[in-house]
Chain A
C-alpha cells in the first residue's frame, strides 16, 4: 500500500464511529467532505480532530482545524504537521 492509501485507510478508521452516512463512508475518497458527505456532526468533528492528534502525536492549531473539512485537506494538514515534528 502507498503512503497515501495507508493514510486514507487510517483516517477511515478514525472517522468510522462518527459517520452518519454509510454509503458515503463505504465510497470514501479524497474529495469526501466530513460534514456534507459523511454527515459527521460538528461536535464529533472535534472528536475526529482529537483522534487525529492522538494517532499521529501532533497538535492541530486553529489554522489547521479550519482546513480539516475533507479527506484530502486532512491528509495535507497531517503530512505538514508530521514533517514539522
Chain B
C-alpha cells in the first residue's frame, strides 16, 4: 500500500497563510513545531511535513483505518532531506520527499516496496477535468508498460476514495495513489 501528496508551491503561497495564529499548532506536534522553528526555510519545512502527513494518511485509509481530521495524531520524523518516518496509530510508514521551486511531493509506503512516482504539469484552465486527465494518463502509461488494451482498463474509486485499476472489470492488485494541487499532478504505483 502506498500514498502520495503533491503541493504546488505557488498555489499554496496564494491560498494558505501558514503564519496565521494557531494554524501550525492545529497541525503539528511539539517535536514538529521544533523542526519548523529551527528551520532555515520554515515555509518548506511546514509543507514538507504536511505532505508527509497527507501521504501517510492515504495509506492509513487504505488499511481500513477510520477517517479522521486531527493532523496532530500523525507524527513525523525527518531522517534526511529526502527520507522520513510517519506514525499513525499503530501504523509506521517510510516517506520520501522531493522538493524543487515548483512543488513538494511526498510518498509513503509500509515497507521497502518498489514504487514508481510520476509527476507532471496539468493542462491549464481545465480545473474541473484534472481528475479525468490524470486517470487517462495512468491508463495510457499502464497499458504501455503492461502491454494491455487501454480500452479495457479503467480506474474506479472505493467509497473511501481509494483508486484502483480495473482490467476487463476485474480489480488489479497494483496499489495506486493519485494527487493533484494547483498546476501539478502525480500518481504513484507499485512496481510489479
Contacts and interface: CB of A to CB of B under 8 A. Distances in A.
Nearest to A53: B22
Interface stretch (A2-10, A24-32, A40-48): A40-48
Contact of B26 (A20, A36, A50): A50
A69 interface: yes
Contacts of A65: 26, 69-70
A65 B27 CA distance: 11
Contacts of A62: 70, 72-73
Interface residues of B, number: 22
A13 B97 CA distance: 36
Most buried by B among A20, A43, A69: A43
Interface of B: 12, 15-17, 20-23, 26-27, 50, 54, 67-73, 127, 161, 181
20 contacts: A36-B161, A41-B15, A42-B54, A42-B69, A43-B12, A44-B15, A46-B23, A46-B26, A46-B27, A47-B16, A47-B17, A47-B20, A49-B26, A50-B20, A62-B72, A65-B69, A65-B70, A66-B68, A66-B69, A68-B69
Interface of A: 20, 36, 41-47, 49-50, 53, 62, 65-66, 68-69
